[in-house]
Structure 1
């Protein structure tokens, strides 16, 4: 659960940082003073920060993933395993109709893999050393098909769009309520924000609204796993994909992926109660049942 908490905290931290920057440099006050305090101007302001931040994160995703995991990109294969890995990814990419991704290996004891990148034709697919050591090639091949499915489905871009729209709504809603509270505290209906009450309310509401936004993002993240599993079954065979997911159950939710990219892993930790709303991955039992035709995604 700590990895999911870090993933959520990263997004909330971005929103809080934006609020502090706006406060320090008086961006909110300048916008109001120049006539941008209406709904249209406020929406544009929120969209620039909300969507802009999300797409900057996407643009940096490959660099962040490589640095945070220590992933080594296979430029020239050094052994037969690396040659096989490149060939397998190339076959899946050709079948999916996308450009050849960068392929990397990172050192981690658990079985895991992830895909990220700004476009379908400039992606990164990385697998852990633990996955290569603990799975047979049929299972690894299915995991690679799953990750290529994420790329071909445009999941990274879609997730970014959803996150950007939600960030925009969070920024917008927090400021509208902040203005109302600030006006009430100052006793003036013409107050457009900038007071202490406004700043405090915006900070608090961005955390609260951001939590609800994170639930929506997590719900999409869980749904896209079923689609990627279906892609893995198509590229590598249904039996191989089921076998790979069954093998992943030996992880027991373990993951050393940094919180910023934990949602991109092949599997994630489980949770119960309200915490389950923030899970980036559905339970492996449920994913296996869907592939076996015994449940719906």
Structure 2
């Protein structure tokens, strides 16, 4: 799931920044929408908070839904995913992956089979993405297929199918829309206040730059909320994976991931951060707040406590 979260957050920041740049230029050179963030207000700051909140709500949710719509396409392009055609010529290993994804998808009650893909990487990872259950993608790395036994691979695939069945991308999009709304709202207020400190002829340039800077900064802070939600949904996906493939296979998959992380850490300390960053394992310390996944020990413990 980690890559799904990473792609979604990066796309969201890019989309939001693009919208703000375009809108700022439109309002600079036309009279369209000029009252969305300015106007008479009893606060004396010249900010119409109601109009600004409406603007923030519209742009915030537009950004999150555009990011959702682009998520599957972004994943394919960035990871150079090879989509496996069930009716095409596939190797035995590729066909086995497709059959596992489709078998668990049917067991999860999905009416439309997800696209299945493989990307060439030594990392042990898998992810699911897509704008809806009807247009989803389940993808595994070549490293996962080469380093894990069949039972562990089945557990990982069942986990990713559970993300699709649970509709995690849609619920994350709604949450991101709320976060975006507050990011835009407070970023524009902060930018307006900063622009008041410069001469009038520099006000637009300073406000324009400040909006982008504050929006990116607040988006990073907002990602703490999205990451916390992602960690919460990981436990649900583990439970769903256990229901689909069997709790023993799900627990075995998590232990196999844990063993791989341990081997990589001993072999090369630099590999540890590469594996943990937005992938299969959580982080420690303050960085845990930015991790999309809980610690594997905690995931295994919760699964076994069921």
Q: TM-score, normalised by structure 1?
A: 0.82
Query: CA 1:113 to 1:255, structure 2 compared with 1: closer, same or farther past 3 Å?
Result: farther
Residue by residue over 1:71-109, the C-alpha shift from the partner in whole angstroms, topping out at 9 and shown as x without a partner, is: 111112523322322221112111111121111111111
Q: Which residue is equivalent to 1:107? A: 120
Residue by residue over 1:11-33, the C-alpha shift from the partner in whole angstroms, topping out at 9 and shown as x without a partner, is: 44544444433333336984564
Helix, strand or coil: the match of 1:228? helix
Residue by residue over 1:196-217, the C-alpha shift from the partner in whole angstroms, topping out at 9 and shown as x without a partner, is: 4533443343233222201101
Q: How much has 1:176 moved relative to structure 2?
A: 2.5
Q: Which residue is equivalent to 2:217? A: 208
Higher RCO (Cα < 8 Å, 6 or more apart): 1
Asked if 2 retains the 8 angstrom alpha-carbon contact of 1:110 and 1:254, the reply is no
Helix, strand or coil: the match of 1:125? strand
Helix, strand or coil: the match of 1:78? coil
Q: Does 1:154 align with 2:155?
A: no
Q: Which runs of 5+ in 1 are unaligned?
A: 188-193
Q: Which residue is equivalent to 1:56? A: 66
RMSD, aligned α-carbons:
3.1
Q: Which residue is equivalent to 2:80? A: 70
Query: CA 1:181 to 1:83, structure 2 compared with 1: closer, same or farther past 3 Å?
Result: closer
Output aligned runs, 1:215-234, within 5 Å.
215-234=224-243
Output aligned runs, 1:6-85, within 5 Å.
11-26=12-27, 30=31, 33=34, 37=38, 38-75=48-85, 76-85=88-97
Asked if 2 retains the 8 angstrom alpha-carbon contact of 1:22 and 1:28, the reply is no
Q: Name which of 232, 241, 247 aligns with 2:250.
A: 241
Q: Distance in 2 between matches of 1:144 and 1:150?
A: 10
Asked if 2 retains the 8 angstrom alpha-carbon contact of 1:139 and 1:243, the reply is yes
Query: CA 1:14 to 1:121, structure 2 compared with 1: closer, same or farther past 3 Å?
Result: closer
Deviates more, 1:161-170 or 1:200-209: 200-209
Q: Distance in 1 between matches of 2:157 and 2:130?
A: 15
Q: Distance in 1 between matches of 2:50 and 2:226?
A: 26
Would you say how many aligned residue pairs link Structure 1 and Structure 2?
Answer: 280
Query: CA 1:34 to 1:11, structure 2 compared with 1: closer, same or farther past 3 Å?
Result: closer
Q: Which runs of 5+ in 2 are unaligned?
A: 39-47, 265-271
Q: TM-score, normalised by structure 2?
A: 0.80
Q: Does 1:131 align with 2:144?
A: yes
Asked if 2 retains the 8 angstrom alpha-carbon contact of 1:108 and 1:256, the reply is no
Helix, strand or coil: the match of 2:305? coil
